[in-house]
Chains A and B, each alone.
Chain A
Amino acid sequence: MKIKNILKGAVFGVFAVSGAAHAADVTLNALFMAQAAYSEDDIRNMTADFKAANPGVDVNVELVPYEALHDKIVLSQSANGYDVVLYDVIWPAEFAQYKLLDDVTDRIDDKTRKAVLSGAWTTVEYDGKYYGMPWIADTKFLFYNKDMLKKAGFDHPPATWEELETQAKAIKDKGIVDYPLVWSWSQSEAAICDYTTILSGMGGQFLDADGKPAFNTGGGLKALQYMVGTINDGVTNPNSREYAEEDVRRVFSSGQAAFALNWGYMYNLANDPAESQVAGNVGIVPAPGEAGVSKASAVNGSMGLGIPTKSTHKEEAWKYIQFLTSQKVQNKYAKLSLPVWEASYSNPDVIKGQEPFVNAAKTSFAVMAPRPTMASYQEASAVLQEALQNAMLGTATPTDALNNAAKTIADLQ
């Protein structure tokens, strides 16, 4: 009898406590990535500012590697886990098909629609509907070590992919560095982003007008041949085949490479003496183009914030998203990720101290190429990742590897 009463009391107690907590507070669970763009510190500081401005709303911030982000969002759907999620430009088609994210078209006013970069909107838009707010506007830039270029006798960074290889060869021949080029070519989405960048500059197409794979012809094939060529010529660091973005930053920042292709966040980190041995020597330009085809290359690597359909705190979640994506907050934290707002690019506070970064972004953002919009993108990407690896490791020719991948992806559709 006694035990029963104690149990009863305990159960009521728990209910009372949790009930009180619900009445006073809302706790949002937010999912971010710890890789490129905003740092963990940035995200936590922004969140602290939001909490200070919104008493009664608490936010649990969770950071995962990019590679785990997609699966986390999908799996949390059945557990009703998150109220705000960061997602990549390549997922809205799939998320829309499975109704994973809330359609927030009605929440976005005309003023906002016009003030945000059009390339950033493609991140959250699918089939004429908006599934969140763009937050990270990003693409791959070409970083170069000014000292090494000067030593090799070059007074300007390369403007074409061909020139990049010529300069890299000269730098290697003069013994300035063993492997002048470093990329993120591991079997991951990072490799697809590098490949897409080169493909776009060489005039390639992922899918043709009928939506059939076309990357195995023209610019797409030339892009992979170029990548494999730089490995065979010894100008690309062979370990690139197992590198992700942070490895690229480490190699470049320790002065072991003259050129690197990476996201914008590397500019201020590679110029930070606490993080880099080449601080002050880092140049940034748009990724090169191809003579007669393009002036610059870029891939749309933007990301957005959305509200999962299962969230029970949608109003608060939207408030949090509005706060994070607001011009004021984005301008304040513009060192690792540039704002999505057009006006920010003429704001002296944003530009100050990172003029080359902002200038490169202006050119690159105008030519950002999308990765294909398809519901089975995750699988298509995995197939292509394997094809790139096979070609880069020499187990298949670029032609065979891409033809195989094109056939498999056509079967998926």
Chain B
Amino acid sequence: MISYRKTVTAWLLLTPMIVIILGVSGYPLIKTVYYSLTGAKLIAPDLTDAWIGFGNYIRALSSSNFREAIWHTTYFAVISVGVEMIIGVMVALLLNEVFVGRTLLRAMLILPLALPTVVNAMMWRLIYNPDFGALNALLVQLGMLDAYRSWLGDPATALDMVIVADVWKNFPLVALIALAALQTVPKDLYEAATLDGAGMWNRFWRITLPAILGPLSVALVLRTIEAFKVFDIIYVMTRGGPASSTKTVSFYVYQEAFAYMRVGSGASYALIVVLISACLIAGYMYLIRKHGEA
């Protein structure tokens, strides 16, 4: 039985925190929901917030450009997070082996993560440069490409190229979490499995993967949320081009609210994105719980 006094003390102690949270995220959230139902403009939003009900949402969902942006974002999120998970786990497995220089390599793993996204984006832009980029030089010298080509200027490759830059920066996070999880797997499990005749592949699927699945799903959820709201790397590398082939929803929301000054409709787009993210997170949570029970 929790005593009445304890409850009161707990709430009293929590009050300042609750007030702050309500102030910095509750109020803006409610305001955003309100604006999304109005035609508010960025300048003097409180003078232009004529109520228009679900007009913004109807316009958003019937806009083919917005649907295209959702598709670009989904593609970006699925491919980049997928590749990050695979490479991350493989690198973690390697770094979990005992060999000379392991500590150095583990330290180097942090480097891409420590780089600010903007710097990373600028760096990859130079690598992809159509006239003097390192990627062109490498592929041409290896004989895999006949002549220098444009990577970010071609709608067929631009988004994939941004994904490569994003994967390079973010797979270490997955690798770090996986590596930490690997430390907790008891060695004797492997010994027993080996005695029972389980091969390398079998040991990975039956011992390693189940053991790190929990922490890995945390990484998956974190990365998916991040990937779904991708903005900075796009802003620096392509600004949504060429022919809007890399325009993601966050970039779309930014343009709507800050370049075209339609805060109301920008808010409705943003909330649609939040809704999609929330669904994804709920899905993951369900999967994690189910796994935990099993």
Contacts and interface: CB of A to CB of B under 8 A. Distances in A.
B260 A98 contact: no
Interface string B118-147: 000000000000110000000000000000
A187 B239 contact: yes
Interface in B243-294: 243-244, 255, 258-261
A378 B260 contact: yes
B210 interface: no
Interface in B141-173: 150, 152-155
Contacts of A242: 130, 150, 152-153, 241-242
B122 to A, nearest CB: 12
A329 B8 CA distance: 70
Contact of B244 (A67, A187, A238, A251): A187
Nearest to B255: A382
A332 B258 CA distance: 37
A385 B247 CA distance: 13
Interface in A238-269: 238-239, 241-242, 250-251, 256
B239 A188 contact: yes
A389 B130 contact: no
Interface in A92-106: 98-100
A241 B242 CA distance: 8
Given A98-B41, A98-B43, A241-B150, A187 B240 contact: yes
Given A98-B41, A242-B152, A395-B155, A390 B258 contact: no
B243 A386 contact: yes
A389 B245 CA distance: 10
A210 interface: no
Contact of A74 (B43, B153, B241, B244): B43
A259 B241 CA distance: 25
B241 A378 contact: no
A187 B243 contact: yes
Nearest to B262: A379
Given A70-B259, A239-B153, A379-B260, A393 B242 contact: yes
B93 interface: no
A378 B243 contact: no
A389 B261 contact: no
Contacts of B153: 186, 238-239, 241-242
A380 to B, nearest CB: 10
A75 interface: yes
B42 interface: yes
A45 interface: no
A77 interface: yes
B258 A71 contact: yes
B244 to A, nearest CB: 5
A54 interface: no
Interface string B171-208: 00000000000000000000000000000000000000
Determine which residue in B43, B44, B243 has the highest number of CB atoms from chain A within 10 A of its CB, and name it: B243
Interface in B197-240: 239-240
Contacts of B240: 187
Contacts of B152: 242
B243 A239 contact: no
Given A239-B150, A239-B153, A242-B152, A395 B243 contact: yes
Interface string A58-75: 000000000100110011
A74 B261 CA distance: 8
Contacts of A98: 41, 43-44, 261
Interface in A214-252: 238-239, 241-242, 250-251
A187 B245 CA distance: 11
A389 B258 contact: no
Contacts of A75: 42, 258
B85 to A, nearest CB: 31
A378 B259 contact: yes
A192 B216 CA distance: 47
A74 B242 contact: no
Determine which residue in A187, A250, A393 has the highest number of CB atoms from chain B within 10 A of its CB, and name it: A187
Interface of A: 67, 70-71, 74-75, 77, 98-100, 186-188, 238-239, 241-242, 250-251, 256, 376, 378-379, 382, 385-386, 389-390, 393, 395
6 contacts: A71-B258, A74-B43, A188-B239, A188-B241, A239-B130, A393-B243
Given A186-B242, A187-B241, 11 more contacts: A74-B258, A187-B243, A187-B244, A188-B239, A238-B153, A239-B153, A251-B131, A378-B259, A382-B259, A389-B244, A390-B243
